[in-house]
Amino acid sequence: MSDDLVKRLRDPAFGTETTERNLMNTAANRIEELEAERDDYAFKWAEANNTYSEMHVALSELNDKLAKAVEALEKIAQHDIQYWAINTLAELKGEK
């Protein structure tokens, strides 16, 4: 829609006064500036949304690791300390 408007502003009818042509050209330039600004904000919003999603995944993974650590500590308190400590440490390091 705005592409058509910009095109019409840049190509006025024959006989249009110079001052009108200048005003129309200025309006077309401003429309293009606003479109570029909108596109920039849309890109930044999408980028921020992706960052938020990545942070959410990382937080979820950290919560899972913390839950495993808590579970392991509870088992350590009840059972064979060395076995659970070695296995939990390997899991938290991603070695298992």
pLDDT < 50 stretches in the chain: none
Number of Cβ atoms within 10 Å of the Cβ of 9: 19
Instruction: Give this prediction's pTM.
Output: 0.55
pLDDT number for residue 1: 60
C-alpha dihedral sign at 62, 65, 66, 67: positive
pLDDT number for residue 85: 76
